Amino acid sequence: MARQLNSQDREYNTAGILLAAGKSSRMGRSKQLVKYKGQPMLSWSVHACLQSNLSRVVVVLGHDKDKICKELGDIFDHKRVSVIDNPGYQAGISRSIMTGLAQVAEDHDSVMFLLADQPLINGETINLLLDRFMASGQDICAPVCEGILRNPTIFRRTMYRQLLSISGDAGAKKIITANPDRTCLVQIPDAGIFQDVDTSADLDALNSR
C-alpha cells in the first residue's frame, strides 16, 4: 500500500472526482457493478482513492444510481466519500465533470478526475501523479503511456473555468492538448494498469489476467 502523507506534508488539497454516471451502453449492463475478482468494478476505483492521499472522494452517479448505492453502500459510507447525482448524465461526461467540480471547487486547490472503468489504477499510481503534480508547479498533470494521454488527470484551480466550458463527451483531454506549456506529463511504463472495461470481452480479458 502506498505511504499516506500527513496533512501537513500536503502542498495542495486535492479532491478526487470519480466519474461513474454513464449508461454503459456497450456493456449492456451497469459496468460499475460488474464483478472483477468478486467485487463490483466501481469498488476497486473507490478503494484506490481511499488508499491514496486524495483528501476527499466524490463519486458522480447517474444511470442506475439507486442500484449502485445499494450494492456499494458500505464503502460509500466512508467519511472521505461523497456520492452525488448527475441527472443530466446523458448529456455526456462533461456534465459529470461539471457536477463533480461544483461540489469541490470552493474548498480544494486542485482536482483529480478518475474513471470508474479502470479497476487496475491503484493508490500508488494516484500518489505518484499527485507527487509529480505538486513538484512540477504546473496547472495540469496527466499520465502518458506508449505515447498516449491516459487517465486519471489533475487540474489546478486556475483551470476550473476551462473545465466548466467543455461540453458533450469531449472530456478534459482537449484542455490538456491545448495547454502543453502548463502540463506535467508523467511517463508510466505499464500500459496494463490503464486497461478500461467497455465490453463483456474487455471484462473477460481482465478477469483472465
Give 100-124 pLDDT, tens digit per residue.
999 999 999 999 999 999 999 999 9
CB 140 within 8 A of CB 179: yes
Q: Is residue 4, in this structure, part of any structural domain at all?
A: no
The confidence score (pLDDT) of residue 168 equals 84
Query: Residue 12: pLDDT band by 50, 70, 90 thresholds?
Result: low
Which structural domain range is residue 84 located in?
A: 12-207
Grid cell digits, residue 187:
511517463
Residue 4, pLDDT > 50, answer: no
What predicted TM-score, i.e. pTM, was given to this entire model? 0.91
Cell 474513471 sits at which residue?
Answer: 115
For residue 3, is it within any domain? no
CATH number of the domain that residue 34 is part of: 3.90.550.10
d(CA 24, CA 20) in angstroms, rounded, equals: 10
The answer as to whether 2 is a domain residue is no
| Domain assignment of residue 52, yes or no | yes
Rounded-to-integer distance, Cα 209 and Cα 202, Å: 11
* 130 is a domain residue: yes
Residue 194: pLDDT band with limits 50, 70, 90: very high
| C-beta separation of 162 from 206 below 8 A | no
The proportion of the chain whose per-residue pLDDT surpasses 70, expressed as a percent, equals 91
Q: Tell me how far apart the alpha carbons of residues 152 and 172 are, in angstroms, rounded to a whole number.
A: 11
Give domain status of residue 7, yes or no: no
Q: pLDDT higher for 116 or 10?
A: 116
User: Does the residue 143 lie in any domain?
Assistant: yes
Q: Is residue 19 situated within a structural domain?
A: yes
User: Could you tell me the CA-to-CA distances from 164 to 22, 50, 54, 96, 102 in Å, in that order?
Assistant: 19, 26, 21, 10, 9
Instruction: Count how many domains the chain has.
Output: 1
